[in-house]
Amino acid sequence: ETLDATGQFVLPGAIDVHVHFREPGYTHKEDWETGTAAAAMGGTTTVFEMPNTHPPTRSVVELRQKQEAAKKAYVDFGLYGLLAEDNIDELQGLIDGGVNAFKCFMGNTFGNLPSPSTGAMLEGFEIVARSGLRISLHAETASIMAWRQKRLVEAGRNDPLAHIAARPAVVAAEAVARAAILAEWTGARVHVLHISSALELGPLRDAKARGVDITGGTCPCYLLLDSSDYARLGSVIRVNPPVRDAADSEAIWAALKDGTVDLIETDHAPHTLEEKTKSVIWEADCGFPGVETQMPLMLNQVSKGRMSLEDYVRYSAEAPAKRFGLFPVKGRIAAGAHADIAVVDMARSETIRAAGLQSRGKVTPFEGETVTGIPIHTLVRGRFVQRDRTLVTGAKGHGRQVTDIQKMPTPVLHNQDQTLASVLRGPG
Ligand code: DOR
Ligand code: ZN
Ligand code: ZN
């Protein structure tokens, strides 16, 4: 079978290290079929799926449940295990059971998983450090947010901007700094998810300069929206962490260019239109679908001259592949080795319509935007999963869990003989 790609660009498929596919537990929002269909339509060939399902992916029992649900996948996937207050004794089982990375919710968000104390985080980091797997952080400090939201609700504030006031940038930056010092002490590899502010960049830069294996990601909404969009979008824009000021998005663009922010992820967080549009802002669910619109939105920025196609490939495929240990990292474009490909037509335009998304979350802050630069075919390990802007329904179930996570050398711990595990084991 041949493919005529005259005049088109053959890119490595995007690797999205941050999606919520909701199954098991919240399948009215999304499931593995609709979520990975959205990825296929969006030129994304590998996703890493988050553990805030119901039940959460907190031990090997739930990991097996998720692997079962994921048998419907169109694209390849990694699975996150939870790192929380109440499952520290399950972490080794998750590692041995084949989890691909960990997720630590330092602040509460959808699913209301209690955020771990710093003590539990430290022990969790000690354990995961030995596996070499990366820990992705929802870096927002729960105690600060709880206080501020209580004060705002008591004062009767109920407007989209109150959402930012409850979770100002310092909430995120304080969490980044705290996690970075735990990573430095334990040798754990960490990734700061959804960087939304200029203030987080300082502690991230400092930790990198100290040699901490820390990476950062941001999402299209933090690059392309700002506080001037709140009035227009109302509760639809509500996301954790919040979209902030234009100066923040400018700083994040610059941080992508200088390598402080390593990659683009989507935080694909589908909710129904009804769950998103509430008259009381605190009742609207946070987040929106993103895996299907990421590549068109960012290629549109390439079309506008905001970044080069090479830079885009670095943020969307090369950096996530390298940082999350995917595939033997040989060439510049590691993912290409597996023929995980998005063929893009940089001359084609489409108008984003929530109603036309594969995702069950039929709501997007980018409704009605016309973008130029579209993935017209998607191949996963050499097989079409999207062809000519049509989902290849026969490819349902083609997706596999990535198993060839690069085995990283065991990092050197600063406190090798002081880990809780080694002290509890006793002398000798
Ligand atoms: O807005 C968000 N929604 N932020 C998160 O961190 C979680 C996500 C969700 O699962 O809905
Ligand atoms: Zn998050
Ligand atoms: Zn998320």
Instruction: Tell me the CA–centroid distance for residue 20 and ligand 2, in Å.
Output: 10
Is residue 241 within 6 Å of ligand 1 at its C-beta? no
User: Does the structure show a pLDDT above 70 at 328?
Assistant: no
In angstroms, the CA 69 to CA 33 distance is 9
Q: Which of 193, 267, 272, 364 to mutate to test the pocket of ligand 1 (most atoms within 8 A of CB)?
A: 267
Is residue 240 within 6 Å of ligand 1 at its C-beta? yes
**DSSP code of residue 333:** S
pLDDT for 332: 39
Give, for 206, the enclosing helix (H) or strand (E): helix 201-209
In angstroms, the CA 285 to CA 236 distance is 9
What's the rounded mean pLDDT across residues 399-415?
A: 69
Per-residue pLDDT band at 428 (split at 50, 70, 90): low
pLDDT for 409: 56
What's the rounded mean pLDDT across residues 303-311?
A: 98
- What are the tens digits of pLDDT across the range 256-297? 999 999 999 999 999 999 999 998 889 999 999 999 999 999
pLDDT for 109: 87
Instruction: Tell me how crowded residue 303 is: count the other CB atoms within 10 A of its CB.
Output: 15
Which two structure tokens, joined as six digits, stand for 229?
């969009």
- What are the tens digits of pLDDT across the range 142-188? 999 999 999 999 999 988 889 999 999 999 999 999 999 999 999 99
Chain centre to alpha carbon of residue 130: 23
Mean pLDDT of the chain: 93
User: Does the structure show a pLDDT above 70 at 405?
Assistant: no
Interhelix angle 246-258/201-209, rounded to 10 degrees, is 20
Is 72 within 8 Å of 396 (Cβ atoms)? Answer: yes
Is residue 109 within 6 Å of ligand 1 at its C-beta? yes
pLDDT for 418: 82
- What are the tens digits of pLDDT across the range 76-128? 999 999 999 999 999 999 999 999 999 999 998 898 898 999 999 999 999 99
Is residue 105 within 6 Å of ligand 1 at its C-beta? no
Instruction: Tell me the CA–centroid distance for residue 194 and ligand 2, in Å.
Output: 7
Nearest bound ligand to CA 193? Answer: 2
Q: Which of 45, 48, 98, 70 is nearest to 338 (CA)?
A: 45
Per-residue pLDDT band at 333 (split at 50, 70, 90): very low
Instruction: Tell me the CA–centroid distance for residue 240 and ligand 2, in Å.
Output: 6
pLDDT for 335: 47
Give, for 233, the enclosing helix (H) or strand (E): helix 230-233
pTM: 0.96
Who surrounds ion ligand 3 at CB < 5 A? 267
b (16+ CB within 10 A) / e for 325-358: bbbebeeebbbbebebbbbbbeebebebebeebb
Q: Classify the C-alpha dihedral 404-385-357-264 as positive or negative.
A: positive
In angstroms, the CA 408 to CA 131 distance is 8
pLDDT for 216: 98
Three-state DSSP state, 67: helix
In angstroms, the CA 115 to CA 128 distance is 17
pLDDT for 337: 54
pLDDT for 235: 93
Please give the residue that has the higher pLDDT: either 334 or 19: 19
Strand order in 101-105's β-sheet? Answer: 14-19, 44-49, 76-82, 101-105, 134-138, 189-192, 214-218, 263-264
Nearest bound ligand to CA 110? Answer: 1
Per-residue pLDDT band at 65 (split at 50, 70, 90): very high
Judged on CB neighbours under 10 Å (0-12, 13-18, 19+), 362 is middle
Q: Which residues are within 8 A (CB) of 173 and not within 5 positions of it... i.e. 6 or more apart?
A: 197, 199, 200, 202, 203
Is residue 287 within 6 Å of ligand 1 at its C-beta? yes
Q: Which residues are within 8 A (CB) of 152 and not within 5 positions of it... i.e. 6 or more apart?
A: 162, 165, 166
- What are the tens digits of pLDDT across the range 336-379? 457 899 999 999 999 999 999 999 999 999 999 999 999 999 99
